[in-house]
Every structure is written in C-alpha cells, then in structure tokens.
C-alpha cells in the first residue's frame, strides 16, 4: 500500500516535473455515486455510467460541481455531509404532493466563500454571498495542475508561471489524484494554500477567483491564516470543493452561480466549464 502510494507519487512527480499541465491521474472512474459505500469498491460499470453524466452538449459543457450525495465528505476527519434534502410531506403518506426541505451548512460540497467568512469588518460591511461579483464568477478561466509533492506555497505558486492578467484560476492538486472528494469521510491531509502561497498570489498575480479541488482553499495547517490573507482583498472569490476529475488543463469559460443567501458568508455554488 505504502509502496504503491510512493510509486504513484514518484510517477506523478516525474510527470509534473516534465510538464505542469498534468491531466488528473486515473481513469474516468467516479467512485462515490449512489450505492458506492467506499472509495475503493465501486463497480466499473457504475463508475463509467456516472462518468458519462458529467458532460453535456456533446462534451462542450463540463459539470465541475459535486452532487450533494449523502456520503460527500464534510470538513472534519471522517465526517460526511449526510442527507441535505428531506421529504417534509410525502404522497406515500397521503398528501397530494411531495415537498422536500433543504437543510445544510453553507460551506458544504462545492461552495463559495464571501469575504465575511473570516474577516469581521467585511461581514459587518455586509459583504455576503449575494454581493459576490457575477462578472468575476463568469468568464475565461485557466485550469492548472499544481506540483504534486507540495502544498500551494509561494514556491509552488511561482513555479506555475501564471501570466499577469489572468483573473480566474482553478487549481487542480493532489486532492484530485487522491479522489478525496469521492472518499467517504473528510480527510484533513488535503493540499491547499499555505499562508505564504496565498500572499504570493495576492502580491504577484491578478488572480481574483481562486478555485480548488477540496473543501478549503487553505491547507489545514494554514486554515485561518491563508484565508485571512486572501480576505484582506474584499473582491477576491474563493470557490471550494470543485470536481476537476478528467478535465484537461487549459482555458475554459467558467460559469458559477451562488445562491442569493442574504447575510450568508457562504453558499453552495453550481459551476460548469464550457469548452
């Protein structure tokens, strides 16, 4: 197990060193859909069928939002989202309609942070998810692969050579290779920005939309500090928990729409890429 992990890591590193535009390792398998109880034991046919659902318009539209399935990981070791939708009235019980209700934390699954999430003055200023800039949330975006042997540090950021002028970047990391969003239960060993990585991005790039492939843009050891660095800029938007499996690195049109949750510092967000 450890040896094969290491071998995979070395392979990934070798490829990443040769070229940063590393396609996500693995196949079109999406373990974790209906009925799949764990990360490893998903039947190939089910995974392939699920995989086909992720493209629309003959492959023109790519679904990069995770479905709110009950075993979607949540932000604590081993935690899952659980069911977020429940039938409140059921025709099976004699009503003339079925009516579901939604109950969830606003930072679950594919989600967006508003600046008030970790900056009290922004929260007090009313910078909620309903005030996020839809212009920034919709437009050309770069999908890049980060070096797999590190969190997103200043050095890692620098190595990506993201040109000035690029405003939206989706960072695909080791999290996608590890299929962490498909793993039943949160895993805090995910990759994210370190404080110095966040600072480097703020100081040296024009990036204002940061997308990442696990539940936080910030690595666990920098959970607050990296967020705080980003949130010093009131117009930065952090999109978390993106589903970047099986998408080629490159340039796309990104379309992301948060819910209009007045007063909330977070929201589920539906994102797609268009080729």
Ligand X SMILES: *[C@@H]1O[C@H](CO)[C@@H](O)[C@H](O)[C@H]1NC(C)=O
Asked if 63 touches ligand X (CB under 6 A), the answer is yes
Residue 232: φ, ψ to 5°: -65, -25
> How far are the Cα atoms of 67, 77, 177, 181 from residue 265, in angstroms, in the given order?
21, 23, 29, 22
Is residue 264 a contact point for ligand X (CB under 6 A)?
no
Angle (deg, nearest 10), helices 223-231 and 195-204: 20
Told to check if 123 binds ligand X by CB under 6 A, we report no
In this complex, which beta carbon is closest to ligand X, that of residue 27 or of residue 90?
90
Q: Does 221 bind ligand X (CB under 6 A)?
A: yes
Tell me which of 22, 24, 191, 212 binds ligand X, using CB under 6 A.
191
Who contacts 93 (Cβ-Cβ below 8 Å, separation ≥6)?
Answer: none
* The only residue of 82, 234, 255, 275 in contact with ligand X, by rule CB under 6 A: 234
Nearest in space to 51 (alpha carbons), one of 35, 63, 69: 63
Work out which of 81, 141, 146, 151 binds ligand X, going by CB under 6 A: 151
Least separation in angstroms between residue 201's CB and ligand X is 15
Q: Kind and range of the H or E element at 86? A: strand 85-89
The reply to whether 100 sits near ligand X by the rule CB under 6 A is no
Q: Please choose, from the candidates 150, 226, 215, the residue with its C-alpha nearest in 3D space to the C-alpha of residue 185.
A: 215
C-alpha span between 134 and 167 (Å, rounded)? 13
Q: Interface with ligand X by CB under 6 A: which range of 35-43, 61-69, 73-81, 254-262?
A: 61-69
Residue 93 interacts with ligand X (CB under 6 A)?
Answer: yes
- Give 142 or 152: the residue with its C-beta nearer to ligand X: 152
Q: In this chain, which of 215, 219, 237, 269 binds ligand X, going by CB under 6 A? A: 219
Across-strand partners of 218? Answer: 193
Burial letters for 215-250: b for 16+ Cβ neighbours within 10 Å, e otherwise?
bbbbbeebbebbbbbbbeeeebbbbbbbbbbbbebe
Q: Give, as ranges, the residues between 159 and 188 that touch ligand X (CB under 6 A).
A: 174
Task: Please return the burial class of 123, using the count of CB atoms within 10 Å of its CB with bins 0-12, 13-18 and 19+.
Answer: middle
4: contact with ligand X by CB under 6 A: no
Q: Does 199 bind ligand X (CB under 6 A)?
A: no
Tell me whether residue 61 or residue 166 sits nearer to ligand X (CB atom). 61
Residue with smaller CB distance to ligand X, 93 or 161: 93
Q: What is the CA angle 82-88-94, rounded to 5? A: 135
Q: Please, which residue, 11 or 163, has the CB nearer to ligand X?
A: 11
Q: Residue 61 forms beta bridges with which residues?
A: 56, 274
Query: By CB under 6 A, is residue 119 in contact with ligand X?
Result: yes
Q: Please pick, from the candidates 81, 141, 150, 175, the single residue that binds ligand X as defined by CB under 6 A.
A: 150
Interface contacts to ligand X, rule CB under 6 A:
53-54, 63, 65-67, 87, 89-93, 98, 119, 121-122, 149-151, 174, 189, 191, 219-221, 228, 231-232, 234, 243
């Amino acid at each position: 197990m450890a040896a094969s992990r290491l071998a995979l890591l070395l392979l990934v590193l070798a490829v990443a060193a040769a070229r940063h535009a590393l396609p996500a390792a693995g196949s079109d398998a999406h373990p974790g859909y209906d009925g799949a109880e764990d990360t490893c034991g998903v039947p190939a046919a089910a995974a392939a069928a699920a995989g086909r659902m992720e493209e629309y318009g003959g492959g023109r539209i790519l679904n990069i939002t995770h479905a709110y399935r009950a075993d979607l990981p949540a932000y604590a070791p081993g935690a899952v989202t659980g069911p977020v939708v429940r039938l409140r009235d059921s025709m099976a019980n004699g009503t003339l309609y079925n009516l579901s209700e939604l109950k969830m934390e606003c930072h679950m699954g594919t989600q967006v942070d508003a600046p008030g999430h970790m900056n009290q003055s922004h929260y007090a200023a009313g910078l909620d998810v309903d005030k996020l800039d839809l212009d920034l949330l919709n437009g050309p975006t770069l999908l890049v692969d980060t070096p797999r042997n590190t969190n997103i540090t200043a050095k890692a950021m620098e190595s990506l050579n993201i040109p000035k002028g690029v405003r939206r970047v989706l960072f695909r990391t080791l999290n996608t290779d590890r299929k962490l969003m498909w793993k039943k239960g949160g895993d805090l060993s995910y990759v994210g920005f370190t404080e110095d990585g966040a600072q480097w991005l703020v100081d040296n790039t024009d990036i204002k939309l940061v997308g990442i492939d696990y539940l936080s843009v910030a690595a666990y050891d920098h959970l607050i500090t990296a967020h705080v660095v980003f949130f010093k800029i009131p117009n930065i938007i952090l999109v978390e928990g993106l589903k970047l499996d099986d998408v080629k690195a490159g340039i796309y049109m990104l379309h992301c729409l948060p819910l209009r949750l007045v007063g909330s510092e977070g929201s589920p967000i539906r994102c797609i890429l268009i080729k």
